[in-house]
Structure 1
Amino acid sequence: MEKKFEIKDLITVGVFSALYFVVMFAVACFGFIPIFMVFTPFLCPLVAGIPLMLYFSKIKHFGMITITGTLIGIIMFVIGHPYPILLFCIGAGLLTEVILKMGNYQSIKHCVAGSAVFSLWFLGMVIAFFFSFREAYFASIVDGYGQEYVEAMKSYTPTWVFFAMIIMCLVGGAIGGLLGAKVLKKHFRKAGMA
Protein backbone atom coordinates (compact mmCIF):
# COMPACT_ATOMS: atom_id res chain seq x y z
CA MET A 1 0.00 0.00 0.00
CA GLU A 2 1.44 3.37 -1.02
CA LYS A 3 1.75 6.02 1.65
CA LYS A 4 2.29 9.76 1.48
CA PHE A 5 5.92 10.89 1.20
CA GLU A 6 7.05 12.14 4.63
CA ILE A 7 10.18 13.62 6.22
CA LYS A 8 11.00 10.25 7.79
CA ASP A 9 11.11 8.81 4.26
CA LEU A 10 13.81 11.32 3.32
CA ILE A 11 15.73 10.30 6.44
CA THR A 12 15.38 6.64 5.40
CA VAL A 13 16.62 7.54 1.90
CA GLY A 14 19.62 9.36 3.37
CA VAL A 15 20.58 6.63 5.84
CA PHE A 16 20.21 3.72 3.44
CA SER A 17 21.77 5.57 0.49
CA ALA A 18 24.82 6.27 2.66
CA LEU A 19 24.99 2.68 3.94
CA TYR A 20 24.61 1.23 0.45
CA PHE A 21 27.20 3.61 -1.00
CA VAL A 22 29.76 2.83 1.74
CA VAL A 23 29.37 -0.94 1.19
CA MET A 24 29.63 -0.58 -2.60
CA PHE A 25 32.62 1.75 -2.35
CA ALA A 26 34.44 -0.59 0.07
CA VAL A 27 34.05 -3.54 -2.30
CA ALA A 28 34.90 -1.40 -5.36
CA CYS A 29 38.25 -0.56 -3.73
CA PHE A 30 39.37 -4.04 -4.79
CA GLY A 31 39.39 -2.48 -8.28
CA PHE A 32 42.80 -1.01 -7.46
CA ILE A 33 43.97 -4.49 -8.44
CA PRO A 34 43.23 -4.46 -12.20
CA ILE A 35 41.83 -8.00 -12.56
CA PHE A 36 39.40 -7.40 -9.68
CA MET A 37 38.01 -4.30 -11.43
CA VAL A 38 36.59 -6.58 -14.12
CA PHE A 39 34.64 -8.53 -11.49
CA THR A 40 33.41 -5.62 -9.35
CA PRO A 41 30.08 -5.44 -11.26
CA PHE A 42 29.40 -8.91 -9.84
CA LEU A 43 31.00 -8.54 -6.41
CA CYS A 44 29.60 -5.13 -5.43
CA PRO A 45 25.88 -5.96 -5.90
CA LEU A 46 26.45 -9.37 -4.32
CA VAL A 47 27.81 -7.88 -1.11
CA ALA A 48 25.46 -4.86 -1.09
CA GLY A 49 22.38 -7.09 -1.49
CA ILE A 50 21.69 -7.26 2.25
CA PRO A 51 21.52 -3.50 2.97
CA LEU A 52 19.70 -2.92 -0.32
CA MET A 53 17.03 -5.49 0.50
CA LEU A 54 16.64 -4.02 3.98
CA TYR A 55 16.15 -0.62 2.31
CA PHE A 56 13.56 -2.07 -0.08
CA SER A 57 11.58 -3.36 2.91
CA LYS A 58 11.27 0.26 4.10
CA ILE A 59 10.07 1.64 0.75
CA LYS A 60 6.32 2.14 0.56
CA HIS A 61 5.96 4.60 -2.32
CA PHE A 62 7.44 5.79 -5.58
CA GLY A 63 10.48 8.06 -5.61
CA MET A 64 12.75 6.80 -2.83
CA ILE A 65 15.04 4.56 -4.87
CA THR A 66 15.20 7.12 -7.69
CA ILE A 67 16.48 9.67 -5.16
CA THR A 68 19.10 7.11 -4.06
CA GLY A 69 20.15 6.51 -7.66
CA THR A 70 20.37 10.24 -8.31
CA LEU A 71 22.46 10.83 -5.16
CA ILE A 72 24.86 8.04 -6.11
CA GLY A 73 25.12 9.41 -9.66
CA ILE A 74 25.92 12.93 -8.42
CA ILE A 75 28.55 11.68 -5.96
CA MET A 76 30.20 9.47 -8.59
CA PHE A 77 30.19 12.31 -11.14
CA VAL A 78 31.71 14.74 -8.62
CA ILE A 79 34.52 12.32 -7.75
CA GLY A 80 35.49 12.03 -11.41
CA HIS A 81 33.40 9.53 -13.35
CA PRO A 82 32.17 10.62 -16.80
CA TYR A 83 28.63 12.02 -17.20
CA PRO A 84 26.98 8.70 -18.28
CA ILE A 85 27.14 7.67 -14.62
CA LEU A 86 24.26 10.09 -13.98
CA LEU A 87 22.15 8.52 -16.74
CA PHE A 88 22.85 4.97 -15.56
CA CYS A 89 22.10 5.78 -11.91
CA ILE A 90 18.86 7.65 -12.55
CA GLY A 91 17.74 5.09 -15.15
CA ALA A 92 18.45 2.13 -12.84
CA GLY A 93 16.60 3.92 -10.04
CA LEU A 94 13.52 4.54 -12.18
CA LEU A 95 13.41 0.97 -13.53
CA THR A 96 13.75 -0.38 -10.01
CA GLU A 97 10.90 1.87 -8.86
CA VAL A 98 8.67 0.39 -11.56
CA ILE A 99 9.55 -3.16 -10.51
CA LEU A 100 8.91 -2.48 -6.81
CA LYS A 101 5.62 -0.72 -7.68
CA MET A 102 4.53 -3.74 -9.75
CA GLY A 103 4.89 -5.80 -6.57
CA ASN A 104 3.01 -3.11 -4.61
CA TYR A 105 6.14 -2.75 -2.42
CA GLN A 106 5.13 -6.04 -0.75
CA SER A 107 6.74 -8.70 -2.95
CA ILE A 108 10.11 -10.22 -2.08
CA LYS A 109 10.36 -11.55 -5.66
CA HIS A 110 10.00 -8.01 -7.00
CA CYS A 111 12.58 -6.80 -4.47
CA VAL A 112 15.07 -9.44 -5.68
CA ALA A 113 14.38 -8.42 -9.30
CA GLY A 114 14.80 -4.78 -8.22
CA SER A 115 18.15 -5.62 -6.64
CA ALA A 116 19.33 -7.09 -9.96
CA VAL A 117 18.11 -4.11 -12.01
CA PHE A 118 19.36 -1.45 -9.59
CA SER A 119 22.87 -2.92 -9.82
CA LEU A 120 22.99 -1.86 -13.48
CA TRP A 121 23.94 1.66 -12.34
CA PHE A 122 27.41 0.21 -11.85
CA LEU A 123 27.84 0.06 -15.63
CA GLY A 124 28.00 3.85 -15.61
CA MET A 125 31.07 3.56 -13.42
CA VAL A 126 32.93 1.19 -15.74
CA ILE A 127 31.76 2.53 -19.10
CA ALA A 128 34.80 4.80 -19.16
CA PHE A 129 36.88 1.70 -19.97
CA PHE A 130 34.93 1.16 -23.17
CA PHE A 131 33.75 2.76 -26.41
CA SER A 132 34.49 6.42 -27.16
CA PHE A 133 35.51 7.20 -23.54
CA ARG A 134 38.30 4.64 -23.44
CA GLU A 135 41.41 6.45 -24.66
CA ALA A 136 40.64 9.78 -23.00
CA TYR A 137 39.82 8.09 -19.69
CA PHE A 138 42.96 5.96 -19.63
CA ALA A 139 45.08 8.97 -20.54
CA SER A 140 43.51 10.89 -17.64
CA ILE A 141 44.37 8.26 -15.01
CA VAL A 142 47.98 7.53 -15.96
CA ASP A 143 49.36 10.12 -13.52
CA GLY A 144 47.34 8.78 -10.59
CA TYR A 145 47.49 5.04 -11.25
CA GLY A 146 50.62 4.61 -13.37
CA GLN A 147 51.18 3.27 -16.87
CA GLU A 148 51.40 -0.34 -15.67
CA TYR A 149 47.90 -0.20 -14.18
CA VAL A 150 46.51 1.45 -17.34
CA GLU A 151 48.08 -1.19 -19.61
CA ALA A 152 46.72 -3.98 -17.41
CA MET A 153 43.22 -2.44 -17.47
CA LYS A 154 43.37 -2.09 -21.26
CA SER A 155 44.26 -5.77 -21.61
CA TYR A 156 41.45 -6.85 -19.26
CA THR A 157 38.74 -4.72 -20.87
CA PRO A 158 38.21 -5.47 -24.55
CA THR A 159 34.78 -4.30 -25.75
CA TRP A 160 33.04 -7.67 -25.18
CA VAL A 161 33.78 -7.43 -21.44
CA PHE A 162 31.25 -4.59 -21.13
CA PHE A 163 28.48 -6.95 -22.24
CA ALA A 164 29.76 -9.60 -19.82
CA MET A 165 29.57 -6.93 -17.09
CA ILE A 166 25.86 -6.41 -17.82
CA ILE A 167 25.31 -10.09 -17.03
CA MET A 168 27.58 -9.86 -13.97
CA CYS A 169 25.54 -6.92 -12.62
CA LEU A 170 22.25 -8.74 -13.06
CA VAL A 171 23.48 -12.05 -11.65
CA GLY A 172 25.38 -10.42 -8.75
CA GLY A 173 22.38 -8.23 -7.96
CA ALA A 174 19.96 -11.17 -8.06
CA ILE A 175 22.16 -13.37 -5.85
CA GLY A 176 22.74 -10.45 -3.49
CA GLY A 177 18.99 -9.89 -3.37
CA LEU A 178 18.29 -13.56 -2.64
CA LEU A 179 20.97 -13.57 0.05
CA GLY A 180 19.51 -10.39 1.53
CA ALA A 181 16.00 -11.89 1.47
CA LYS A 182 17.25 -15.02 3.23
CA VAL A 183 19.17 -13.11 5.91
CA LEU A 184 16.28 -10.69 6.46
CA LYS A 185 13.48 -13.27 6.27
CA LYS A 186 12.18 -12.42 9.76
CA HIS A 187 12.33 -8.71 9.01
CA PHE A 188 10.35 -9.13 5.79
CA ARG A 189 7.74 -11.20 7.59
CA LYS A 190 7.42 -8.51 10.25
CA ALA A 191 7.01 -5.87 7.50
CA GLY A 192 4.16 -7.97 6.03
CA MET A 193 6.04 -8.82 2.84
CA ALA A 194 5.68 -12.11 1.00
Structure 2
Amino acid sequence: MNKLQGKDFINIGIFTAIYFIVIFAAASIGFIPIFIPLISVIVPIIGGIPMMLFFSKIKKFGMLTICGLLLGIIMLLTGMGYWCIPTGLIFGLISDFLMKASRYQSAKGEIFIHGIFSMWVIGAFIPIVVTRDAYYQNLLPGYGQEYADTLMAYMPDWILPLLLAAAFVSGLAGGLIGGRIFKKHFKRAGIV
Protein backbone atom coordinates (compact mmCIF):
# COMPACT_ATOMS: atom_id res chain seq x y z
CA MET A 1 0.00 0.00 0.00
CA ASN A 2 2.83 2.42 0.81
CA LYS A 3 4.84 1.61 -2.32
CA LEU A 4 4.59 3.90 -5.30
CA GLN A 5 2.40 2.43 -8.02
CA GLY A 6 1.73 3.19 -11.67
CA LYS A 7 -0.91 5.81 -10.87
CA ASP A 8 1.58 7.63 -8.62
CA PHE A 9 4.24 7.68 -11.33
CA ILE A 10 1.69 8.99 -13.84
CA ASN A 11 0.75 11.80 -11.42
CA ILE A 12 4.43 12.62 -10.87
CA GLY A 13 5.05 12.76 -14.63
CA ILE A 14 1.98 14.81 -15.45
CA PHE A 15 2.44 17.36 -12.68
CA THR A 16 6.19 17.67 -13.22
CA ALA A 17 5.51 18.40 -16.90
CA ILE A 18 2.77 20.94 -16.11
CA TYR A 19 4.92 22.57 -13.42
CA PHE A 20 7.91 22.80 -15.77
CA ILE A 21 5.85 24.36 -18.58
CA VAL A 22 4.39 26.94 -16.18
CA ILE A 23 7.73 27.86 -14.58
CA PHE A 24 9.55 27.88 -17.91
CA ALA A 25 7.06 30.42 -19.23
CA ALA A 26 7.43 32.50 -16.06
CA ALA A 27 11.24 32.26 -16.12
CA SER A 28 11.38 33.64 -19.67
CA ILE A 29 11.66 37.06 -18.08
CA GLY A 30 15.30 36.08 -17.56
CA PHE A 31 16.04 37.10 -21.12
CA ILE A 32 16.17 40.59 -19.63
CA PRO A 33 19.16 40.46 -17.25
CA ILE A 34 17.69 42.81 -14.63
CA PHE A 35 14.91 40.24 -14.05
CA ILE A 36 17.19 37.22 -13.47
CA PRO A 37 17.12 37.57 -9.64
CA LEU A 38 13.32 37.89 -9.77
CA ILE A 39 13.06 34.35 -11.14
CA SER A 40 13.52 33.14 -7.55
CA VAL A 41 10.34 35.05 -6.70
CA ILE A 42 8.17 34.54 -9.78
CA VAL A 43 8.78 30.80 -10.29
CA PRO A 44 7.66 29.78 -6.74
CA ILE A 45 4.60 32.03 -6.87
CA ILE A 46 3.40 30.90 -10.31
CA GLY A 47 4.55 27.31 -9.71
CA GLY A 48 2.49 27.14 -6.52
CA ILE A 49 -0.70 26.87 -8.52
CA PRO A 50 -0.07 23.50 -10.21
CA MET A 51 2.07 22.19 -7.34
CA MET A 52 -0.66 22.62 -4.74
CA LEU A 53 -3.01 20.57 -6.91
CA PHE A 54 -0.26 17.92 -7.10
CA PHE A 55 0.19 18.11 -3.31
CA SER A 56 -3.51 17.26 -2.88
CA LYS A 57 -2.85 13.98 -4.71
CA ILE A 58 0.31 12.98 -2.80
CA LYS A 59 -0.26 10.20 -0.28
CA LYS A 60 3.05 8.32 -0.53
CA PHE A 61 6.66 9.04 0.32
CA GLY A 62 8.98 9.66 -2.61
CA MET A 63 6.71 11.54 -4.97
CA LEU A 64 8.31 14.94 -4.31
CA THR A 65 11.83 13.53 -4.37
CA ILE A 66 11.19 12.05 -7.80
CA CYS A 67 9.57 15.30 -8.95
CA GLY A 68 12.62 17.27 -7.75
CA LEU A 69 14.99 14.88 -9.50
CA LEU A 70 13.01 15.07 -12.75
CA LEU A 71 13.00 18.86 -12.59
CA GLY A 72 16.77 18.83 -12.13
CA ILE A 73 17.21 16.53 -15.13
CA ILE A 74 14.91 18.66 -17.28
CA MET A 75 16.83 21.78 -16.24
CA LEU A 76 20.09 20.06 -17.22
CA LEU A 77 18.64 19.07 -20.60
CA THR A 78 17.44 22.63 -21.23
CA GLY A 79 20.91 24.05 -20.63
CA MET A 80 20.63 25.24 -17.03
CA GLY A 81 23.47 23.04 -15.76
CA TYR A 82 23.53 20.16 -13.32
CA TRP A 83 23.13 22.04 -10.01
CA CYS A 84 19.33 21.72 -10.13
CA ILE A 85 19.68 17.93 -9.84
CA PRO A 86 21.14 17.99 -6.30
CA THR A 87 18.97 20.91 -5.20
CA GLY A 88 15.87 19.21 -6.63
CA LEU A 89 16.77 16.00 -4.79
CA ILE A 90 17.60 17.72 -1.49
CA PHE A 91 14.54 19.95 -1.30
CA GLY A 92 12.30 17.23 -2.75
CA LEU A 93 13.48 14.77 -0.09
CA ILE A 94 13.05 17.29 2.74
CA SER A 95 9.56 18.03 1.41
CA ASP A 96 8.73 14.31 1.30
CA PHE A 97 9.77 13.90 4.94
CA LEU A 98 7.64 16.90 5.93
CA MET A 99 4.65 15.56 3.98
CA LYS A 100 5.01 12.20 5.70
CA ALA A 101 5.30 13.90 9.11
CA SER A 102 2.04 15.76 8.42
CA ARG A 103 0.43 12.45 7.36
CA TYR A 104 -0.48 14.07 4.04
CA GLN A 105 -3.40 15.85 5.72
CA SER A 106 -2.32 19.38 6.61
CA ALA A 107 -3.28 22.16 4.20
CA LYS A 108 -1.28 24.73 6.20
CA GLY A 109 1.63 22.32 6.40
CA GLU A 110 1.57 21.86 2.65
CA ILE A 111 1.86 25.62 2.12
CA PHE A 112 5.02 25.53 4.25
CA ILE A 113 6.23 22.44 2.38
CA HIS A 114 5.74 24.24 -0.92
CA GLY A 115 8.02 26.99 0.41
CA ILE A 116 10.69 24.37 1.18
CA PHE A 117 10.24 22.57 -2.15
CA SER A 118 10.50 25.88 -4.06
CA MET A 119 14.05 26.37 -2.82
CA TRP A 120 15.22 23.85 -5.46
CA VAL A 121 15.30 26.80 -7.87
CA ILE A 122 18.56 28.00 -6.25
CA GLY A 123 20.32 25.37 -8.36
CA ALA A 124 19.82 27.54 -11.43
CA PHE A 125 21.74 30.38 -9.77
CA ILE A 126 24.64 28.46 -8.24
CA PRO A 127 26.76 28.43 -11.44
CA ILE A 128 26.47 32.21 -11.76
CA VAL A 129 28.16 32.59 -8.37
CA VAL A 130 30.29 29.46 -7.90
CA THR A 131 31.74 29.29 -11.43
CA ARG A 132 31.40 33.00 -12.09
CA ASP A 133 34.25 33.49 -14.58
CA ALA A 134 33.41 30.40 -16.64
CA TYR A 135 29.71 31.32 -16.60
CA TYR A 136 30.55 34.83 -17.83
CA GLN A 137 32.71 33.46 -20.64
CA ASN A 138 29.94 31.07 -21.70
CA LEU A 139 27.46 33.95 -21.93
CA LEU A 140 29.59 36.07 -24.27
CA PRO A 141 29.20 34.11 -27.55
CA GLY A 142 25.41 33.73 -27.34
CA TYR A 143 24.32 36.89 -25.52
CA GLY A 144 27.09 39.43 -25.99
CA GLN A 145 29.16 41.45 -23.56
CA GLU A 146 26.48 44.00 -22.65
CA TYR A 147 24.06 41.27 -21.51
CA ALA A 148 26.81 39.37 -19.66
CA ASP A 149 28.07 42.50 -17.87
CA THR A 150 24.54 43.55 -16.89
CA LEU A 151 23.69 40.06 -15.62
CA MET A 152 26.84 39.90 -13.50
CA ALA A 153 26.10 43.33 -12.06
CA TYR A 154 22.67 42.12 -10.88
CA MET A 155 24.04 38.82 -9.56
CA PRO A 156 26.79 39.69 -7.03
CA ASP A 157 28.75 36.97 -5.19
CA TRP A 158 26.70 37.38 -2.00
CA ILE A 159 23.25 36.95 -3.56
CA LEU A 160 22.65 33.18 -3.13
CA PRO A 161 21.33 33.31 0.48
CA LEU A 162 19.04 36.18 -0.49
CA LEU A 163 17.69 34.25 -3.48
CA LEU A 164 17.19 31.14 -1.32
CA ALA A 165 15.19 33.15 1.22
CA ALA A 166 13.20 34.80 -1.60
CA ALA A 167 12.37 31.38 -3.08
CA PHE A 168 11.12 30.13 0.32
CA VAL A 169 8.95 33.19 1.05
CA SER A 170 7.62 33.28 -2.51
CA GLY A 171 6.95 29.55 -2.25
CA LEU A 172 4.79 30.25 0.79
CA ALA A 173 2.88 32.87 -1.22
CA GLY A 174 2.53 30.49 -4.18
CA GLY A 175 1.36 27.71 -1.86
CA LEU A 176 -1.21 30.02 -0.30
CA ILE A 177 -2.52 31.09 -3.73
CA GLY A 178 -2.58 27.52 -5.07
CA GLY A 179 -4.18 26.27 -1.87
CA ARG A 180 -6.99 28.78 -2.15
CA ILE A 181 -7.57 28.05 -5.81
CA PHE A 182 -7.76 24.29 -5.18
CA LYS A 183 -9.46 24.40 -1.78
CA LYS A 184 -12.21 21.99 -2.87
CA HIS A 185 -9.59 19.46 -4.04
CA PHE A 186 -7.94 19.56 -0.62
CA LYS A 187 -11.30 19.00 1.11
CA ARG A 188 -12.12 16.12 -1.22
CA ALA A 189 -8.70 14.57 -0.47
CA GLY A 190 -9.35 14.88 3.28
CA ILE A 191 -6.67 17.56 3.77
CA VAL A 192 -7.65 20.13 6.39
Q: Shorter-chain TM-score: which interval?
A: over 0.9
| Deviation beyond 3 Å, 4+ runs, structure 1 | none
In structure 2, C-alpha distance between the alignment counterparts of 1:29 and 1:159, rounded to whole Å:
23
Name the SS for the 1:160 alignment partner.
coil
Q: CA deviation at 1:178?
A: 0.6
CA-to-aligned-CA distance 1:128-147 (integer Å, 9 cap, x gap): 1113x111011112111111
Count of aligned residue pairs for this structure pair: 192
Deviation at 1:63, TM superposition (A): 0.8
Could you tell me whether the CA contact under 8 Å between 1:99 and 1:113 is conserved in 2?
A: no
The residue aligned with 2:74 is: 75
Q: Distance in 1 between matches of 2:27 and 2:186?
A: 28
**CA offset at residue 4 of structure 1?**
3.7
Whole-angstrom distance in 1 between the partners of 2:43 and 2:81: 20
- Residue of structure 2 equivalent to 1:172: 170
Residue in 2 that maps onto 1:56: 55
User: What is the distance in 2 between the residues matched to 1:168 and 1:22?
Assistant: 21
What SS does the aligned partner of 2:159 have? helix
Gaps (5+ residues) in structure 1?
none
Contact map agreement 2:75 2:82 (CA 8 A) in 1: no
Partners of 2:176 and 2:187 in 1: how far apart? 15
What is the aligned partner in structure 1 of residue 109 from structure 2? Answer: 110
The residue aligned with 2:99 is 100
Residues 52 and 179 of structure 2 are in contact (CA less than 8 Å); yes or no, is this contact kept in structure 1? yes
TM-fit CA distance, 1:101: 0.8
Bigger CA drift: 54-63 or 78-87?
A: 78-87
One-letter code aligned to 2:141: D
Distance 1:141 1:32 in 2: 12
Cα distance in 2, alignment partners of residues 184 and 63 from structure 1: 22
Cα shift at 1:80: 2.4
Q: What value does the CA root-mean-square deviation take over the aligned residues?
A: 1.2
Aligned: 1:8 with 2:7: yes
For residue 136 of structure 1, what is the aligned residue in structure 2? 134
Contact 1:102 1:110 in 2 (8 A): no
- 1:3 Cα offset (Å): 4.0
The amino acid that maps onto 1:13 is I
Q: TM-score, normalised by structure 1?
A: 0.95
**C-alpha separation in 2, matches of 1:139 and 1:147:** 9
Per the alignment, in what secondary structure is the counterpart of residue 98 of structure 1?
Answer: helix
1:8 maps to a residue whose letter is K
C-alpha distance after superposition, 1:93-143 (max 9, x if no partner): 101101111111111122111110111110000111113x11101111211
Unaligned runs of 5+ in 2: none
Identity %: 41
